[in-house]
Amino acid sequence: MIYSEQKNFDEIIAYLEKDNNVFVLGCNGCAQSSDSGGPKQVEEMKQKLEAAGKKVTGAKVIDFLCEKALVKSDLKGRVDQLKAADAVLVLTCGIGVQCVAAALNKKVYPGCNTINRGGIRGEWEGIERCYECGQCLLYHTGGICPLTACTKSLVSGACGGANHGKCEISQDRDCGWELIYERLKERGLLDRLDDLMKPLEHKKIMIRPEMMATPRYGIENPPEVKKPAEEVKVK
Amino acid sequence: MSLQSKIESGQFAVSCEFGPVKGVDLREVKENIEVLKGKVDAANVTDQQSAKMRMSGLVTAALCVQGGLEPIFQMTCRDRNRIALQSDLLGAWALGIKNVLALTGDLPALGDHPQAKGVFDLDSVTLLMAIKSLNEGFDLAGNELKGKPAFFPGAVVKVVSNTAAAEELQIAKLKKKVAAGVKFIQTQAVYEPKTFEQFIKRVEKFKVPVMVGIIPLKTAGFARFMNANIAGIHVPDDLIQKMAAAAKEDREKTGIRIAADLIKAMKPMCQGVHIMAMEWEKKVPEIMALAGL
């Protein structure tokens, strides 16, 4: 399970500054369990956006946004709503946002931050990877994560080491920033390259203690059984 | 005259570079300082170049100050987080180091300690933001400093890219560096004045002084090696053939002559030249003389 939390609504509204028509997508997988992008949160987001003066052209919750084939097939009946939207707001983890951005030729924005749970939780089939940085940057990078797509996890742009589009670390690895460039170009969003990014906040990447608390953790680390200080004498 | 005064007054500036020693024998560093002082305006001191461990660039830059050669302290983000970078910057100022060149840095995996962790807490742009903030009297977290430095920050750009995306990304990043307060730019080595002219036309709107990069060719094989292995360097065939055609005893002269001719050709297009001699530091004055500098 990948844990996500909704971004501050001010941040979401700032993303949508130039986009009045929005399609909202949620996920019935981890995002529903995280209370960040299930049916309830998608409906609430729709209302908040409408209250803020946006037109919600459609809203849908898909079982697993991390599965691009599902994203495409489940949205088949919603083509008109998607076409009417300027942007798609995705309430789920960083992988889901990247899959939607890869699957739809639209502007795709993250509505959540993905939170570090301190290790591997499972596997997924696609190439998208989430850093669980707690400060999702996908709005600025066309839905391709610079932290996982770039070997150096650079937030400000390419390092200059790429050769024929490949990272200097290996000819088998694409330069993440060239992928980001091509995506932004394809979506007409090249001005996002001018966004001056602040250094990452590593405090948000560190695992929070409560994220370690799982049922298994409880079994492996049982709380000390406290003996009563004085046995109660039964008459 | 300092590098900053020279660039700010619109004069043509000359810099070169050398690396700190791998070890503690300072003889060569001191020889380089002696040969270069009074000749170049400033010398870059590299920071564990190619991710290969050497003596601290901060200490070597301080040795330059002591020896009368103005250093350009290269700082990469590979080995230090934002706390260490800012701390070293404050220390650098205390030691008389004014010019800082902000770089992201090569991956440790490509250096001589491939087991090492790459830090990259900041990158070239966010390091420039940190320098700007220190100059304004605050650290990156907004805490006030006791006394503020006045660094002259520089950065680098690659002129030649082999994909359209890489070229656009270089320009976009240069734009960010300008927004982050960069005051001068040194380029990767350029061998084709026409390419440089096109590049300058694209970046003149940023109004940032550009120092063109020059690496003197040593042999034809050296040129071919750079073409194959160093991103951003393209030595055209005619120059490779000139090197190949030179007799062994004339090779050095030919390489130096080509470097001087390139400087002469590109001098009118920019505000300075940055000569990366790669172990030929002592020949820099000869290259300068031939180029009429």
Domain boundaries, chain A: 3-139+201-207
Question: Given phi > 0 = left and psi -120 to 50 = alpha, else beta, which region is A35?
Answer: left
Q: Considering only the beta carbons, identify the residue of B107, B163, B172 that sits closest to A168.
A: B107
What is the rounded (10 degree) CA torsion for B241, B278, B73, B77? 80
Q: What is the spatial distance between Cα A40 and Cα A26, in angstroms, rounded to a whole number? A: 9
What percent of chain B shows pLDDT beyond 90? Answer: 99
B20, HSE (Cβ side, Cα atoms, 13 Å): 27
Contact A165, B156 (CB under 8 A): no
- Topology of the domain comprising B3-276: TIM Barrel (3.20.20)
Q: What is the spatial distance between Cα B3 and Cα B40, in angstroms, rounded to a whole number? A: 9
Contact B282, B288 (CB under 8 A): no
Residue A126, both tokens: 């696609």
pLDDT at A220: 64
**pLDDT category of residue A234 using cuts at 50, 70 and 90:** low
Q: Considering only the beta carbons, identify the residue of B124, B165, B231 that sits closest to A156.
A: B124
Residue B116, both tokens: 């090492």
pLDDT at A116: 87
pLDDT at B246: 95
* Interface mutation vs chain A, best among B107, B123, B159, B188, most A CBs within 10 Å: B123
Please give the C-alpha separations between residue A190 and each of A142, A194, B137, in angstroms, as whole numbers.
Answer: 9, 8, 34
Q: What is the spatial distance between Cα B19 and Cα B149, in angstroms, rounded to a whole number? A: 25
- Give A105 to chain B, closest Cα distance, Å: 19
Least confident among A52-56, A58-62, A65-69, B23-27: A65-69
- Contacts of residue A51, defined as CB under 8 A and 6 or more positions apart, other chains included, come to none
Contact B126, A127 (CB under 8 A): no
Whether B121 has its CB under 8 Å from any CB of chain A: the answer is yes
pLDDT at A231 over 60: no
Which DSSP state fits B21? P
pLDDT at A211 over 90: no
Contact A27, A91 (CB under 8 A): yes
pLDDT digits (tens, 9 = 90+) for A149-173: 999 999 999 999 999 999 999 999 9
Contact A114, A205 (CB under 8 A): no
ipTM above 0.85 for this complex? yes
Q: What is the spatial distance between Cα B138 and Cα A41, in angstroms, rounded to a whole number? A: 41
Which amino acid is it at A219?
I
Residue B255's nearest CA partner among B243, B265, B264, B266 is B243
Measured in Å, how far apart are chain A's first and last C-alpha atoms? 53
Burial class (CB in 10 A: 0-12, 13-18, 19+), B54: middle
Contact A39, A32 (CB under 8 A): yes
pLDDT at B228 over 70: yes
Give domain limits for chain B: 3-276
As a whole number, mean pLDDT of residues B240-248 equals: 96
pLDDT at A222: 63
Task: Record the pTM.
Answer: 0.89
Q: Cβ atoms within 10 A of the Cβ of B132, count? A: 17
- Contacts of residue A78, defined as CB under 8 A and 6 or more positions apart, other chains included, come to A23, A58, A60
pLDDT at A227: 59
Whether B111 has its CB under 8 Å from any CB of chain A: the answer is no
pLDDT at A121 over 60: no
pLDDT at A218: 63
pLDDT at B42 over 60: yes
Which of 1.10.3720.10, 3.40.50.11860, 3.40.47.10, 3.40.50.300 is the CATH number of A3-139+201-207?
3.40.50.11860
pLDDT digits (tens, 9 = 90+) for A74-98: 999 999 999 999 999 999 999 999 9
Contact A49, A23 (CB under 8 A): no
Which chain B residues contact residue A203 at CB under 8 A? none
Q: Considering only the beta carbons, identify the residue of B104, B157, B231 that sits closest to A163.
A: B231
Query: Which residue is closest to A152 within chain B, CA to CA?
Result: B120
Q: What is the spatial distance between Cα B114 and Cα A170, in angstroms, rounded to a whole number? A: 14
**pLDDT category of residue B163 using cuts at 50, 70 and 90:** very high
Whether B124 has its CB under 8 Å from any CB of chain A: the answer is yes
What is the rounded (10 degree) CA torsion for A14, A16, A19, A23? -170
As a whole number, mean pLDDT of residues A43-59 equals: 98
Measured in Å, how far apart are chain B's first and last C-alpha atoms? 15
Residue B204, both tokens: 């003149």
